[in-house]
């Protein structure tokens, strides 16, 4: 029996990786959606399976997706965009009979709130000291430099190094910042998959040798029990079912410590897939109610990424009010 899967965020690295993974299966029909008609992932699927959606921040987004589910007979919705998950998490029931292949609303909320995440995981894994700005100003024994970052945010946006007490006291109070001990060691991303019971079946650490706009474009998978166990414990602590990307960095003593969690498919997913853990395919099986293997092993593998062009007839380009850029009028 063929199932229909709708993948949103088709213009991003994660969306493209998910689409490519699922297209390898003969038992799935893949539809691709994005708010931008220039999103390259749209053109990986046949023209009748390309869709435009409103932005995830729009009040029209969830109703538009729900209508798409009904009209296209969708069985599984896979969103690869944080803001879409925030909108869909509490309203996933509106997508029925389709299922949203994403962690629970509670897991998404705690993962995307860096202060709540640190508080939840403290005592379970190594967590750097973390405080909201007001509380941080009252703490006298910070070891400078420290890091200031938005409590809510992704892709490294708004992160800054604070060299001393004067700079800490000069931080703006209206940007929702938190302050965190600096972790000076190497950073790792661990792609984690947990089954329907919350049992972690795969935890794949990756180095981030080169990073562009928050996405690793070069790196390798590594077998490191400390990283794998730490990421699995984070997943259990936040109640993960499905996929998440756990970011860890070594502290001054060389121990793995929690940075943040992205409760979605990561942008560097192709490396994890090539290393033996086809997370998109496994996640779709999970949310279709199929049992996952008890464990999914991976091998050590390196990658470097490059741009790949998709050529098509100009008439095929979908016209969107939300395109990142539009053709200039003739």
155 shares its domain with 260? no
Q: Which domain holds residue 79?
A: 3-103+309-316
Domains: count for the chain: 3
Q: Is residue 98 part of a domain?
A: yes
174 shares its domain with 188? no
191 shares its domain with 289? yes
Q: Is residue 122 part of a domain?
A: no
> What string of pLDDT tens digits covers the 330 residues of the chain?
899 999 999 999 999 999 999 999 999 999 999 999 999 999 999 999 999 999 999 999 999 999 999 999 999 999 999 999 999 999 999 999 999 999 999 999 999 999 999 999 999 999 999 999 999 999 999 999 999 999 998 767 889 999 999 999 999 999 999 999 999 999 999 999 999 999 999 999 999 888 887 778 899 999 999 999 999 999 999 999 999 999 999 999 999 999 999 999 998 999 999 999 999 999 999 999 999 999 999 999 999 988 888 899 999 999 988 776 555 444
Render the burial of 94-104: b for 16+ CB within 10 Å, e for the rest: ebeebbbbbbb
237 shares its domain with 270? yes
The pLDDT assigned to 329 comes to 42
Q: Is residue 322 part of a domain?
A: no
Measured in degrees and rounded to the nearest 5, phi and psi for residue 289 equal 90, 15
Q: Taking the alpha carbons of 54, 243, 49, 217 in that order, is the dihedral positive or negative?
A: positive
19 and 41 Cβ atoms separated by less than 8 Å? yes
The pLDDT assigned to 93 comes to 97
Place of tokens 């009979």: 97
**Residue 211, strand partner residues:** 216
169 shares its domain with 200? no
Q: Is residue 204 part of a domain?
A: yes
The pLDDT assigned to 320 comes to 87
Q: Is residue 121 part of a domain?
A: no
The pLDDT assigned to 271 comes to 96
CATH of the domain at 84: 3.40.50.20
Collapsing DSSP to helix, strand or coil, 70 comes out as: helix
211 shares its domain with 177? no
Q: In 3D, which of 175, 183, 172, 63 has the Cα closest to residue 129?
A: 183
239 shares its domain with 164? no
The pLDDT assigned to 300 comes to 98
161 shares its domain with 189? no
250 and 183 Cβ atoms separated by less than 8 Å? yes
Q: Is residue 248 part of a domain?
A: yes
Q: Taking the alpha carbons of 119, 123, 124, 125 in that order, is the dihedral positive or negative?
A: positive
Global pTM reads 0.93
How far is Cα 127 from Cα 118, in angstroms, rounded to an integer?
A: 6
Q: Is residue 328 part of a domain?
A: no
Collapsing DSSP to helix, strand or coil, 192 comes out as: strand
143 shares its domain with 224? no
How far is Cα 274 from Cα 271, in angstroms, rounded to an integer?
A: 5
Q: Cα–chain-centroid distance for residue 178?
A: 21
81 shares its domain with 25? yes
The pLDDT assigned to 244 comes to 98
Place of tokens 């946006």: 157
CATH of the domain at 173: 3.30.1490.20
Q: Is residue 244 part of a domain?
A: yes
196 shares its domain with 145? no
The pLDDT assigned to 321 comes to 82
140 shares its domain with 190? no
Q: In 3D, which of 221, 26, 31, 6 has the Cα closest to residue 101?
A: 6
């Amino acid at each position: 029996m063929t199932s229909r899967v709708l993948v949103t965020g088709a213009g991003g690295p994660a969306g493209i990786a998910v689409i490519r993974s699922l297209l390898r299966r003969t038992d799935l029909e893949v539809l691709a959606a994005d708010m931008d008609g220039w999103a390259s992932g749209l053109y990986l699927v046949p023209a009748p399976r390309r869709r435009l959606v409103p932005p995830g921040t729009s009040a029209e987004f969830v109703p538009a997706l729900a209508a798409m589910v009904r009209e296209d007979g969708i069985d599984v919705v896979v969103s690869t965009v944080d803001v879409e998950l925030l909108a869909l998490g509490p309203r996933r029931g509106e997508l029925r009979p389709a299922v949203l292949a994403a962690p629970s609303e509670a897991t998404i909320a705690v993962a995307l709130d860096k202060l709540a995440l640190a508080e939840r995981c403290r005592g379970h894994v190594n967590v750097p000291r973390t405080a909201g700005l007001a509380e941080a100003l009252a703490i006298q024994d910070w070891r400078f430099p420290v890091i200031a970052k938005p409590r809510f945010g992704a892709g490294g946006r708004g992160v800054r190094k604070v060299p001393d007490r004067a700079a800490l006291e000069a931080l703006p109070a209206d940007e929702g910042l938190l302050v965190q001990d600096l972790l000076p060691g190497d950073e790792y991303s661990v792609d984690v998959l947990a089954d329907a019971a919350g049992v972690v079946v795969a935890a794949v650490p990756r180095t981030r040798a080169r990073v562009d706009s928050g996405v690793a474009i070069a790196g390798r998978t590594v077998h490191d029990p400390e990283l794998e166990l730490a990421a699995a414990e984070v997943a259990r602590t936040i109640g993960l079912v499905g996929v998440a990307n756990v970011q860890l960095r070594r502290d001054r003593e060389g121990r793995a410590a929690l940075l943040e969690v992205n409760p979605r498919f990561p942008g560097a997913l192709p490396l994890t897939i090539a290393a033996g853990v086809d997370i998109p395919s496994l996640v779709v099986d999970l949310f279709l109610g199929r049992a996952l293997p008890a464990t999914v092993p991976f091998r050590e593998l390196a990658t470097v990424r490059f741009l790949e062009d998709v050529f098509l007839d100009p008439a095929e380009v979908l016209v969107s009010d939300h395109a990142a850029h539009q053709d200039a009028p003739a």
